[in-house]
Structure 1
Amino acid sequence: MENKYEWSTFILRVVLGITFFVHGLAKFQGGIENTVGWFGSIGLPGFLAYGVALLELVGGIALVVGLGTRIISGLLALLMAGAILKVKLPVGFIGNGQAGYELDLAFLAMSVAIAINGSNLYALDSKLFKGQKHQNENTKSA
């Protein structure tokens, strides 16, 4: 049986992946042009909306299946740090009539934890790169 640590990071990975996937999907379903316009209204280049929505959508799926987990989590952590600093910080932790940065901070912490520790339980990475892991371990002990 897998250890508790692997199960806990698996749960974080899947929940974070589903959440980002849904957020990315909502950006496209609601009309990506609206998000492009909103980015412009807060002083960001509108084309960044496409990158953010794609990262959330594709990155969310990648996290759920465990593909490129550390890289995707690192990119999502940067995304959350940017969202906090550019949009949410002025309204405060809980917000004042609008959402604060508490949820973004939780997503940032989850992303950083997964980026640092990885998550191999039920992950495509562990299946695709199984031989590579053993090779790296042998190289370290030599």
Structure 2
Amino acid sequence: MFARVKDVALLLGRIGVAVVFFAHGLQKWDSGVGATAGMFDKIGIPLPTVAAIFVIVLEVIGSIAFVAGFLLPLIALAYAVDMAGALISVHAANGLTGDGGYELVLVLGLTALALGFNGGRLSLDHVLFWRRREARPESARELETA
């Protein structure tokens, strides 16, 4: 029973993180790549158009994949890069808390990492990649680790 509760909690965590990223991605999508790239250029992010496309795709499409549990480690690392960029370029000067502080980007980036590498059994990654590995005989798994 504990495993089921854990899996549901991990799914709820992925949903919570993805909803926040998705909402911010939709804001950037609505503004457009040009406006987002202009904002990125203004705050000194290198390759602002490439960065804008990366962030919009990550925060919109990546959030859907994160909820579904597809390519979790990859999405988690991309989220962490996204939040590291936001922390360094925008929020660090404002301190941890208060107006413009970096507490949200810190929590989002680190939580995404934790959930990305511990997505639980209620994920496509588990169904597509891990379940087959767990079902193999013990002797086959020993050969892999040797």
- The TM-score by the shorter chain falls in which range? 0.7 to 0.9
Q: Structure 1 stretches (4+) deviating beyond 6 angstroms?
A: none
Instruction: Describe the superposition over 1:2-34 as per-residue Cα deviations: whole angstroms up to 9, x where unpaired.
Output: 343323222211111122122111111123322
**What aligned pairs does 1:1-142 form with structure 2 within 5 A after superposition?**
1=1, 2-44=3-45, 45-47=47-49, 48-95=51-98, 98-116=99-117, 118-129=118-129, 130-135=131-136, 139-142=140-143
Query: What amino acid maps onto 1:119 in structure 2?
Result: G
Q: Are the structure 2 counterparts of residues 53 and 137 from structure 1 closer, same or farther at C-alpha, using a change threshold of 3 Å?
A: farther
Aligned residues with identical type, % of pairs:
31
TM-score by length of structure 2 reads: 0.83
Q: Number of residue pairs matched?
A: 139
Whether contact under 8 Å (2:44, 2:89) holds in the other structure is: no
TM-score by length of structure 1 reads: 0.85
Q: Are the structure 2 counterparts of residues 107 and 137 from structure 1 closer, same or farther at C-alpha, using a change threshold of 3 Å?
A: farther
How far off is 1:102 after superposition?
0.8
Structure 1 distance, partners of 2:116, 2:136, is 22
Runs of 5+ unmatched residues, structure 1: none
Q: Are the structure 2 counterparts of residues 83 and 137 from structure 1 closer, same or farther at C-alpha, using a change threshold of 3 Å?
A: farther
